[in-house]
Structure 1
Amino acid sequence: MSGFHPLDILAIVGYLAVVLYLGKRASHQSTGSEEGYFLAGRKLGKAYQFFLNFGNATDANGAVSTASLVYQKGASGVWLSLQTLFMNPYYWFMNMWFRRVRLVTVADLFEDRFGTRALARFYAIFQVFATVIVIIGFGNLVAYKVTASLLVKPEVEWSDAERASVAGYQEMKRLQAESKAGTLVAPEQVSRLETLEDMNKRGELRSYVSYLDSTFGKWAYYIIYSAIVGAYIVMGGLAAAAVNEAFQGILIVVFSIMLIPGGLVAIGGWDQLAEKVPEANFQLLSAGGIGLWELIGIFLISIVQIHGIIGNMSVAGSAKDEFAARFGAVSGTYAKRVMIILWAFAGLIAIALFQGGTALSDPDSAWGTMALQLLKPGFLGLMMAGLLAANMSTIAAQTMAVSALFTRNVYKYLFPRTTEQGSVMAGRISIVVILAIGVIAAASMNDVYAVVQLLLTINVPFGAAVVLIFFWRKLTAAAVWWAVGLCSILNIIAPAWLPSVVPSLRESPALVKEVSHEGGPMRAVYFESVVRKDANDPASPRVGQGRLHIELLTLELVGVNVSSFSPSGRNAARFIYNAFLPFAVLILVSLVTRRPEQARTDQFFGKMKTPVGTTPELEIAAMEATTRDPHRFDHTKLFPKSSWEFTKWDKVDAIGFIACLCVSFGILAAFWIVLRMASA
């Protein structure tokens, strides 16, 4: 099987056996209650919280997408993942808030804060679909792409169509090299290059052929993969996921390290990085890659949307106390930041390995192609097991969160007399359905970079709402409805569906505009890309392809000349627009609509200021005291007479925040130094 040795198969089978065994073992520890199944009984200490956060944040998606983006954009491509390095000091506080709210799902938060089940149900339904289709489907897609790149079909087995596809890709790379060198002058060659580049944008060309390229191979892979994930979490719930995170975390570290030594040997040593990789690709901020403003935009949108993610409550809520939640959040995610740097170096090595005629048609296959070429028997199987571990751990945690949302906030509304055991059974059945829909969603996806950008924006409206739920008394349920509805239409639904509903938009001369920035290649302004309507007809009109950037159209209408921005600058404008729009809607609508019941609001913010008890008895006593006097911690407010509920820091807050800042900048400085060493 294309380089797979019996030792590789043995490593994969051994991994799967251990995963299923741990799931079965955890099923004996899981109780029949909702908290026992969905939150592991709120008993996870610092060690399990570390692995749960590390596994939930670290997945094969991150490894593959980071290596892919660095392969395409150079080291600056790492920022789509590494910008979260600056969020770690914020996590020191955020996970504490999700633990103090003392709920099971994020949907419960809307009901608890506003007393409205309708908003909680809407959040649950929206997030069930969004998470299953985008996040779980995306995880399946990345796992498939990596596995497909490992199962390469020998040339003697290619069909005529496959042979023509690979030949077309190789011809395109040769003509591009001639164009760059200035030797491509014949009009028919220029026309041929344009035709091939259009075919490549449509996904019609490829640099290799996989056994999994067929419809049967793709569906068989997705079904088997999802069945294994479902088996262990159906048995043991979040407890099984947490136990497996600990085991899988070790494999994640191993597979993140494996490619680098072999890759350096393959290119001729460490010093060959500087020889074979262009200097610009070592820059952390570059005009051709991700610039400073785009980084700021990515950071803003990320720190907003992170609040709306469904897994926050299950991860932080499963901690036995708030310090365990805080420690697990920052330590687990810092471990991921180190992994991101390793993945970035794998991407730089891929640039050195695959360039010119050997360049990859699908950058998302960089990781798998390197593994296939560099790893010896047994190690390739270990790599595959590690990738499965990384992806399964994240999909398991996300699936558990979706299952809890559906069971508590949709199913129990329809069947209010359901017992605790009935809820757990409904949760187990929903896991099977969730994974099945994730398979269907993955089969309709193709481009990792496009999905990564969607992931950055899909939770922003709810994320902004949760931020203000925690901090602003005047926020109203009506404002949340308006913000989520309006932003979802403008930023998510319309950009994807409007060009399909109104096909003439894709052919509008004003919208298919392309510009060149500082002598670079022509880039689409308002669409993801612009291609010929008929790839084989040089006279065919240009049409827009992919997402329509309504944010840029809006800015253009109010007088901002977005065409003059660099591609990175246009991305920055989109991200900053998406980050601030929901806050503007939330605040404006809240000021003109009726506030929630004051007694409910007092109880909510009293609870948010009450530290979680270190024992069940102390916890019960603390909450009883707060119920009697919800204002007993008002002296800790930073602005005592305002409607803003920010609190003064204590010693733990301050020391933890400063320590996180030091670690964040220390990791960034170390990465920069190593990049400088590599480029020299």
Structure 2
Amino acid sequence: MTWIDYVVVAVYFIVMIAIGLWAMGRVKGQEDYFMGGRGFGKLLQTFAAFGAGTGAHEPIQVGRTGWTSGLSGVWSALMWLFVTPVYWITAVWYRRMRHLTLGDWFVERYESKALGAAYAVFAIIFYMFYLSTMLSAIAKFAVPLMGIDQIAGLDLKYVLIPGLAGIVIVYGVLGGLTAAYWTDLIQGIFIILLSVLLIPYGLWALVKEFGDPSTQGFMDGFTIMHERVSSDYFSLFTGPSAGEFPLQYIVALTLLALVGIVVQPHFIATGGGSAKSENEARIGLVVGNFLKRLCTVGWAITALIALALLAGRPELAVDPDLVWGIAAREILGPLNLGLVGLMLACLMAAMMSSADTYMIVSSALITRNLYAAYVNPSATDRESVKVARVTGLAIIVGASVVAITMANVFAQFTFAIELPILFAAPFWIGMFWRRANATAVWITIVFSALFFFILPLVIPMLSPEMRTDPAWTTTTNRIVKSIKRTATPADVARHEAWGEAMEQAKDDKKLREKIGAEPPQCEAGDPIEVILVSGDKSIFWSGGVKPVGEESLEMISTVRDGDASILTQRRTGQLQGEGQFKLDFLLYHYIGVDLANVSKATLETLRLPTRVLLPFLVLIVASFLTPRTSESVLDRYYAKMKTEVDPDPETDRRNLEQSYNDPKRFEDRRLFPGTDIEALRPRKSDVYGFAISVAVCFVVIALLVWLAGIGAA
């Protein structure tokens, strides 16, 4: 980075702080601080949903999976695509709740102050881990851009992460959600720039490097990209990594995301609760998230360009997470226009636009569902806002500590994304079924916490011999697929990069293992044999298995499939399990399901039935065995959730009073009248909006396939 790049970053920071100072004067009470007075229109709601939903780790993640899996790697972020149409329905729920936190919703629906407190604790842990992934991603991205990995003898992350946290704290703590939303508008523009900036410059870099700039334009970069990269990298559902994202895995990821996303704490604000009306809530949430899906298309095309341009980089043979940073440095750096600094600011915007909202929502939960509920029930609005500012700081500091001390970004992200299992079933069922009650919810939370998080850690501690028991160290079969095809220039470059990386690694055994097997040595146009190795994944251990002493591979079968040969092997010898024990896979073991021949993606897909269905089943059964919630409380709650929000607060208050006085006024609109199911018949706007959103999902996929296909032979 040059001085002009640092100036761009500095100006960006100054503008963010100035917005926080401006917004501070607009905060009069809790509703202003936590919800911006519920006065946001379509534009700010759109960019709030876009900013909060777009993490700094996602472009880097797509860059990595695009490097290893080609176009199919886009599903590492695009898995949320078919969740988006459901937002057209859920946005109405969050606005009709008329609450400041989702903890307040649990208190009202289940008559339990303790449930609100438990949800607040969940939110704190969730955000510390989820936000830490973004801080870690920024630190990794910045190293190749800044060209340094240390400042004053300290690793860059020890300086950069606290610095970023400090900026977020200043403008977010001062200005509350209003500051967060206005900065999200600016940061959203930066994120869009991040998503498209490398494409035209990258295509032109391909022309300059491998084409003829005197006769070719930047669009010819697409043709060069296809000439340099094998066609299997351009498949949306299969790829060079033996189908890392097949269709069944994408469906499973979508369902898991759908079940859990509704209880992510920030959805009470960005999901529609801060909007002027239901219409603003819906349009803001859906359009904002479709903006993100379009940005994901840009990330995928950028990854393909990087594949064609940077295949010879040895550092990428070692760590594909560096794809985005190195691409930005190599493509934008030579221009010396401050674009490298702009790219770094853009990625910081992706992190900060999420962090500010997460911080404010978390501080609202701590203030309302812990402090006001148990410490000072008579706290004034002024006192509550002071507490919120202090506790919001704690969330960012906690996330920074996790980011600095926990090296495994994927582990941080996985833990955070699975936590909503605890509250997902109580939310979905409580939204529609009167029979669900607080006792049943506690049973479900305790069951989910034990079954999915606590026992998988505790059982191996109590019975360490499990780690070497052959019954539990089984793996899926190792599949070696040999494919013959013509070598591309990228194949040649990859082999050269591998050689340089192995030379640099020298006697570092772990690093050499990370670099992996030698790619085919070839010249462009030569017939080559590409070896794809898949399977050999531990069935019962989250950290896999490692050999104890000598190990060997036993051949099971070898078959031919057209030009490809497929060798199936089984690992033998004593093994030791690492990480947590997958307790839910005992179900498949005891009903006799043979998992030896399934792929890694199918193994992950099989987590869906247990993680989604078991909590729902436990809650339903427990609800039938425990006392109901008070009928008067349920009548009041469901009457409120059926009353459309009026943008005028006074009119809305009168409409609510009418519903409270006559809870049966919407009986004629119920889908199942006379039952405990409180779902209403969908309106035309519900059906049309949902259908259009589904159609847009296919438009996004068509756009991605079309862009990736430009220049193909």
Alpha-carbon distance between aligned partners in 2 of 1:536 and 1:443, rounded to the nearest angstrom: 37
Contact 2:468 2:575 in 1 (8 A): yes
> Could you say if the C-alpha distance between residues 449 and 589 of structure 1 is closer, same or farther in structure 2, counting changes exceeding 3 Å?
same
1:78 equivalent in alignment to 2:42: no
2:223 counterpart residue number: 271
Q: Deviations over 1:534-589 (max 9, x none)?
A: 99999996543444433334322222222221111001111342121111111111
Equivalent AA in structure 1 for residue 92 of structure 2: M
1:46 equivalent in alignment to 2:7: no
Q: Pick from 164, 169, 181 the counterpart of residue 242 of structure 1.
A: 181
Q: CA deviation at 1:666?
A: 1.3
Equivalent AA in structure 2 for residue 6 of structure 1: W
1:373 counterpart residue number: 330
Equivalent AA in structure 1 for residue 303 of structure 2: G
Equivalent AA in structure 2 for residue 326 of structure 1: R
Structure 1: runs of 5 or more not aligned: 154-209
1:293 equivalent in alignment to 2:290: no
Alpha-carbon distance between aligned partners in 2 of 1:276 and 1:509, rounded to the nearest angstrom: 46
2:105 counterpart residue number: 109
1:648 equivalent in alignment to 2:681: yes
Equivalent AA in structure 1 for residue 293 of structure 2: R
Structure 2: runs of 5 or more not aligned: 211-220, 481-532, 553-571
Equivalent AA in structure 1 for residue 64 of structure 2: S
Contact 1:282 1:679 in 2 (8 A): no
2:407 counterpart residue number: 446
1:469 counterpart residue number: 430
Q: Deviations over 1:31-64 (max 9, x none)?
A: 2x11110110111111111111111112312211
Q: CA deviation at 1:528?
A: 4.4
Q: CA deviation at 1:365?
A: 1.8
Q: CA deviation at 1:278?
A: 3.1
Q: Deviations over 1:109-159 (max 9, x none)?
A: 111011111111111112212222x11212211111111232334xxxxxx
Alpha-carbon distance between aligned partners in 1 of 2:370 and 2:420, rounded to the nearest angstrom: 19
Summarize the alignment of residues 296-311 of structure 1 with structure 2, pairs less than 5 Å apart: 296-311=251-266
1:428 counterpart residue number: 389
> Could you say if the C-alpha distance between residues 72 and 577 of structure 1 is closer, same or farther in structure 2, counting changes exceeding 3 Å?
farther
1:418 counterpart residue number: 379
Alpha-carbon distance between aligned partners in 2 of 1:409 and 1:677, rounded to the nearest angstrom: 53
Alpha-carbon distance between aligned partners in 2 of 1:281 and 1:238, rounded to the nearest angstrom: 42
Q: Deviations over 1:142-201 (max 9, x none)?
A: 111111232334xxxxxxxxxxxxxxxxxxxxxxxxxxxxxxxxxxxxxxxxxxxxxxxx
Contact 1:322 1:612 in 2 (8 A): yes
Comparing 314-323 and 510-519, the one that deviates more: 510-519
Q: CA deviation at 1:215?
A: 5.3
Equivalent AA in structure 1 for residue 683 of structure 2: D
Equivalent AA in structure 2 for residue 141 of structure 1: S
Q: Deviations over 1:621-679 (max 9, x none)?
A: 10110110111111111111221122112222222122212212211222223333465
2:135 counterpart residue number: 140
Equivalent AA in structure 1 for residue 228 of structure 2: K
Contact 1:512 1:524 in 2 (8 A): no
2:597 counterpart residue number: 564
Alpha-carbon distance between aligned partners in 2 of 1:642 and 1:419, rounded to the nearest angstrom: 42
1:675 equivalent in alignment to 2:708: yes
SS in 2 for 1:560: coil
Equivalent AA in structure 2 for residue 410 of structure 1: L
Alpha-carbon distance between aligned partners in 2 of 1:535 and 1:81, rounded to the nearest angstrom: 39
Equivalent AA in structure 1 for residue 322 of structure 2: S
Comparing 670-679 and 99-108, the one that deviates more: 670-679
Equivalent AA in structure 2 for residue 278 of structure 1: S
SS in 1 for 2:603: helix
1:577 counterpart residue number: 610
Q: Deviations over 1:380-409 (max 9, x none)?
A: 000011111111010111111111001100
SS in 2 for 1:580: helix
Summarize the alignment of residues 18-417 of structure 1 with structure 2, pairs less than 5 Å apart: 18-31=15-28, 33-132=29-128, 134-153=129-148, 210-211=149-150, 216-267=155-206, 268=210, 269-286=221-238, 287-315=242-270, 316-355=272-311, 358=314, 359-376=316-333, 377=336, 378-412=338-372, 413-417=374-378
2:498 counterpart residue number: none
Contact 1:100 1:612 in 2 (8 A): yes
Contact 1:69 1:449 in 2 (8 A): no
Q: CA deviation at 1:522?
A: 4.8
Q: CA deviation at 1:503?
A: 4.9
Comparing 453-462 and 6-15, the one that deviates more: 453-462
Alpha-carbon distance between aligned partners in 2 of 1:423 and 1:452, rounded to the nearest angstrom: 31
In the comparison of the two structures, how many residue pairs are matched?
619
Q: Pick from 433, 453, 456 the counterpart of residue 417 of structure 2.
A: 456
> Could you say if the C-alpha distance between residues 15 and 611 of structure 1 is closer, same or farther in structure 2, counting changes exceeding 3 Å?
same
Equivalent AA in structure 2 for residue 407 of structure 1: T
SS in 2 for 1:564: coil
Q: Deviations over 1:72-113 (max 9, x none)?
A: 222222223212221222100101101101111111111101
Comparing 536-545 and 480-489, the one that deviates more: 536-545
SS in 2 for 1:270: helix
Contact 1:301 1:456 in 2 (8 A): no
SS in 2 for 1:360: helix
1:512 equivalent in alignment to 2:473: yes
1:544 equivalent in alignment to 2:557: no
1:479 equivalent in alignment to 2:443: no
Alpha-carbon distance between aligned partners in 2 of 1:322 and 1:409, rounded to the nearest angstrom: 25
1:615 equivalent in alignment to 2:572: no
TM-score, normalised to structure 1, is 0.86
Alpha-carbon distance between aligned partners in 2 of 1:265 and 1:499, rounded to the nearest angstrom: 55
In terms of fraction of residues, the more helix-rich structure is 1
Q: Pick from 2, 20, 30 the counterpart of residue 5 of structure 1.
A: 2
Alpha-carbon distance between aligned partners in 1 of 2:341 and 2:409, rounded to the nearest angstrom: 24
Contact 1:301 1:576 in 2 (8 A): no
Alpha-carbon distance between aligned partners in 1 of 2:648 and 2:273, rounded to the nearest angstrom: 15
Equivalent AA in structure 1 for residue 326 of structure 2: T
Q: Deviations over 1:598-636 (max 9, x none)?
A: 111111111110000121121011011011011111111
Q: Deviations over 1:375-434 (max 9, x none)?
A: 132100000111111110101111111110011001112121221111100000011211
Alpha-carbon distance between aligned partners in 2 of 1:547 and 1:382, rounded to the nearest angstrom: 41
Comparing 599-608 and 64-73, the one that deviates more: 64-73
SS in 2 for 1:74: helix
Equivalent AA in structure 2 for residue 263 of structure 1: G
Alpha-carbon distance between aligned partners in 1 of 2:460 and 2:401, rounded to the nearest angstrom: 23
Contact 1:476 1:590 in 2 (8 A): yes
> Could you say if the C-alpha distance between residues 404 and 383 of structure 1 is closer, same or farther in structure 2, counting changes exceeding 3 Å?
same
Comparing 402-411 and 516-525, the one that deviates more: 516-525
Q: CA deviation at 1:516?
A: 3.5
2:514 counterpart residue number: none
Alpha-carbon distance between aligned partners in 2 of 1:36 and 1:19, rounded to the nearest angstrom: 19
Equivalent AA in structure 2 for residue 438 of structure 1: A
Contact 1:360 1:366 in 2 (8 A): no
TM-score, normalised to structure 2, is 0.82
Contact 1:19 1:244 in 2 (8 A): yes
Contact 1:305 1:461 in 2 (8 A): no
1:523 equivalent in alignment to 2:545: no
> Could you say if the C-alpha distance between residues 129 and 594 of structure 1 is closer, same or farther in structure 2, counting changes exceeding 3 Å?
same
Comparing 265-274 and 322-331, the one that deviates more: 265-274
